[in-house]
Amino acid sequence: MDADRLTKVPLFEGLSRRELEQIARWADEVDLPEGKRLLDQGRFAYEFFVIQEGECEVRQDRRQLAKMGPGDIVGEIALIERARRTATVETLSRVRAIVMSARDFGTMMDTMPSVARRVREIQQRRIGDADLG
């Protein structure tokens, strides 16, 4: 993955060149077709995604919770909580995404406080939104 592409991702804003290069080593870019499931509710968590292009739908118990698009992240809750997936995420269009393994995601969270803080803020908002639903 090219570190320069990461400068356009809101989650990684303000990181040093060295930090961006490290994330680039941990991450891969993937192109996914419409209708591809990224995450299945109830399954174990093995990866984390940042959507660069396209749109995904988030469902919980077959109920649509949200649509996600460029700049949004998915898969963080189960990795942070060390729990099963809380929702199903499926592409609604062709999607380009950054994907990172659970191990590399954990290392990023441990070594990059600004990214960890942003991810946890997003996680807390989502948990709060789910409680309201």
**What phi-psi label fits residue 105: left (phi over 0), alpha (psi between -120 and 50 degrees) or beta?**
alpha
Band (pLDDT 50/70/90 cuts) for residue 62 is: confident
Alpha-carbon distance 16 to 5, whole Å? 14
- In percent, how much of the chain has pLDDT > 70? 96
Average pLDDT, stretch 108-126?
Answer: 91
User: 102-111 and 113-132 helices cross at what angle (nearest 10)?
Assistant: 110
Band (pLDDT 50/70/90 cuts) for residue 1 is: confident
Mean pLDDT, the chain, rounded, equals 92
b/e map of 83-109 (b: 16 or more CB within 10 Å)?
eebbbbbbbeeebebbbbebebbeebb
pLDDT at position 133 over 60 = no
So what's the pLDDT on residue 131? 52
- In percent, how much of the chain has pLDDT > 90? 80
> Per residue in 2-45, pLDDT tens?
898 899 899 999 999 999 999 999 999 999 999 999 999 999 99
pLDDT at position 132 over 90 = no
Q: What are the structural domains, with CATH classification, of the chain?
A: 3-132 (2.60.120.10)
